[in-house]
Amino acid sequence: MRLAIIDLGTNSIRFDIHEVSATRKGAVQHRRLYREKAMVRLGQDLFLQGKLSEESKRRTLEAIQSFRETMEALRVDKIVAFGTAAMRDASDGEAFLEEIKNETEIDFKIISGAEEATLIAKGILNNEGVAPKGTYALIDIGGGSTEVCICKGKKVLHACSFNLGVAKLQQVFLRNQPPLLPLVAQLSSKKKRASRKNRQLKKLNDPVFELRNFIKSVVLPKMLIDRWPKVNQIIGSSGSVIALSKLVHKDKDDVSKKPFPRKELTKLVQTMKVKTPGELLSIKGMEPKRVDLILAGGVLLDELAQILSAKDIRATEFALRDGILVDELLRFNVKKNKATLFALDEIKKRIHHWGIDEQHYKAVLGHAEFLFDHLKSVHKLKQEWRPYLCAAAILHDVGEIISHAHHAEHSEYMVKNANFVGMHVWEAALIAHLCRFHKEEKILEKKNEKKMPYEKKGSKKDDMRDIFLKLLSLLQMADSLDRTHKGFLKLKRATNSHGKVHLRFTSKHPCDLEMLRFEQKKMLFEQFFGVEVTLSK
């Protein structure tokens, strides 16, 4: 199943496509095929006007229409689309979602703040690995709301969504950059030390000071009533937290795994509050699209860290859409989706587009089908394995698109990453391995043991090892029977008697090269099954 997830936030819209499937043993697995994020600023002026602007709606609709095209190209089976704070707050939010549905046939669901907090916690806790020691907080700072979860281990102790978001706070408190009012700037410019009265007056006219007080007035009552414990660390999600982490770490790579002291964030906020937009842009690691919102995000995160007594902060890449995926994986019907769903016709269409030698793959495919069907008494494979042999027969030479030299290795890579519709990850791996080793007739020799994709695990042998080798031996013989790539040879009959397999063929042309190549490529089949194979006209 191909699943699309769309998270429509106040600042950004996030879009993922996942291939969800079952392993051979029935476990659910997934692989991300596509990811995109667009900063559409849906909440622009929303919190001053109470409704969405026409410009922000246009940007959002255009982004969703482009997502629709991507979903059609990647054959998406299911779409899960959520709207969050902006849709909850906008008086025309539901009307806009109805417009989106009419234009794109994508049905968005508006989720509550409590649902959003729960899903964010699921996304982080199920992906972050080992939890921090002691009590810690998960904080997701969005454009219109902020979700806070207090956790211990993998358990959520408290979860709450606050009506605090960087777009909202910026529009109400920090409309200018720098935000200091003229009186404050005048007081700050005096050389002699300000009197106590002047310092108090400065605070009263400082929008950042007012913003900090507002955050306290919203968060502290909830924290005290529910008796939230203090935390050791904050794990922060969303673009604002990641952007702040980059600034503290001076734009170093992999900042999501590196915690930083809260005091470093406090210093950064103090630095940013007196800078103009141009000066903010000069800070190493600053994202141009977040210049107007970065101070609001920094003040909010810093104040929350102080309220919760957190010493360290760390960013994470996981958030709401990952929690949505966790829920969808739990709903996935393994029994319904375990069966092979890939279609050979779809594979043929893809390689036709790639420009592969059609005459050769059709000849090899015909030989592979013949050998599988007429040698069942030898290989004893169930019919369910026939499509994998056929797929490998079609795809074994696709690597020649990259280079004829080492084309088997290139074929393996292409098959693993081609994302064929309906093909499970383990199925793609099996077919890719067949392509990779279709020229290795000596795979069973001791010196090649490390190459084997399905190795013995201790005393227990992987059951895929025998299946792989049986299919590979058939593929190698099938490929050898069209050595000239002209499709001259046609298999006519196969007999199996007293440990001897005899294949007969017809051809109007000489097939000396095919017969010579067959003598080399039959080696694996003979060695694995313990039979003698002959070929004649």
Confidence of residue 196 (pLDDT cuts 50, 70, 90): low
The identity of residue 489, as a single letter, is L
Question: Percent of the chain scored above 70 by pLDDT?
Answer: 91
- Checking if the pLDDT of 1 tops 90, the result is no
Whole-angstrom distance, CA of residue 89 vs CA of residue 46: 8
Q: What is the pLDDT of residue 37?
A: 95
Q: How far is CA 189 from CA 177, 183, 184, 278, in A?
A: 17, 10, 9, 21
Confidence of residue 191 (pLDDT cuts 50, 70, 90): very low
| Per-residue model confidence as pLDDT tens digits over 319-356 | 999 999 999 999 887 666 655 567 888 899 888 888 88
Mean pLDDT confidence for 374-397: 96
Whole-angstrom distance, CA of residue 472 vs CA of residue 255: 45
Whole-angstrom distance, CA of residue 349 vs CA of residue 41: 40
Residue 443: both structure tokens together:
């795979």
Mean pLDDT confidence for 510-533: 95
Whole-angstrom distance, CA of residue 515 vs CA of residue 534: 10
Residue 162 makes CB contacts below 8 A (sequence gap 6+) with 113, 145, 146, 147, 148, 218, 219, 222
- Checking if the pLDDT of 178 tops 60, the result is yes
How many C-beta atoms lie closer than 10 Å to residue 19's C-beta? Answer: 23
Mean pLDDT confidence for 288-306: 96
Q: Are 28 and 22 in contact (CB under 8 A)?
A: yes
- Checking if the pLDDT of 162 tops 60, the result is yes
| Per-residue model confidence as pLDDT tens digits over 267-280 | 999 999 999 999 99
- Checking if the pLDDT of 203 tops 70, the result is no
Confidence of residue 518 (pLDDT cuts 50, 70, 90): very high
Mean pLDDT confidence for 399-419: 93
Q: What is the pLDDT of residue 526?
A: 95
Q: How far is CA 248 from CA 99, 236, 255, 261, in A?
A: 41, 14, 9, 9
Whole-angstrom distance, CA of residue 57 vs CA of residue 173: 24
| Per-residue model confidence as pLDDT tens digits over 238-257 | 899 999 999 998 866 665 56
Q: What is the pLDDT of residue 182?
A: 45
- Checking if the pLDDT of 382 tops 70, the result is yes
Residue 105 makes CB contacts below 8 A (sequence gap 6+) with 68
Q: What is the pLDDT of residue 201?
A: 46
Which residue is associated with the tokens 């482009």? 66
For 313, phi then psi, to 5°, come to -135, 140
Residue 362 makes CB contacts below 8 A (sequence gap 6+) with 487
Q: What is the pLDDT of residue 241?
A: 94
Which residue is associated with the tokens 């279709």? 438
- Checking if the pLDDT of 186 tops 60, the result is no
Q: How far is CA 217 from CA 40, 214, 265, in A?
A: 30, 5, 21
Output the CA torsion sign for 438, 444, 450, 453.
Answer: positive
- How far the first Cα of the chain sits from its last, in Å, is 47
Q: What is the pLDDT of residue 192?
A: 45
| Per-residue model confidence as pLDDT tens digits over 91-134 | 999 999 999 999 999 999 999 999 999 999 999 999 998 889 99
Q: What is the pLDDT of residue 64?
A: 97
Mean of the per-residue pLDDT values of the chain: 90
The identity of residue 131, as a single letter, is A
Tell which residue, 210, 136, 166, has the closest CA to residue 300.
Answer: 166
> 109 pairs with which residues across the strands?
82
| Per-residue model confidence as pLDDT tens digits over 56-102 | 999 999 999 999 999 999 999 999 999 999 999 999 999 999 999 99
Q: Could you give the domains of the chain?
A: 2-112+327-336 (3.30.420.40), 128-317 (3.30.420.150), 340-536 (1.10.3210.10)
Q: What is the pLDDT of residue 11?
A: 94
Tell which residue, 113, 123, 80, has the closest CA to residue 323.
Answer: 123
Higher pLDDT, 154 or 346: 154
Whole-angstrom distance, CA of residue 234 vs CA of residue 256: 12
Query: Which of left, alpha, beta for 165 (phi over 0: left; psi -120 to 50: alpha)?
Result: beta
Residue 140 makes CB contacts below 8 A (sequence gap 6+) with 116, 117, 120, 146, 147, 236, 237, 238, 241, 319, 320
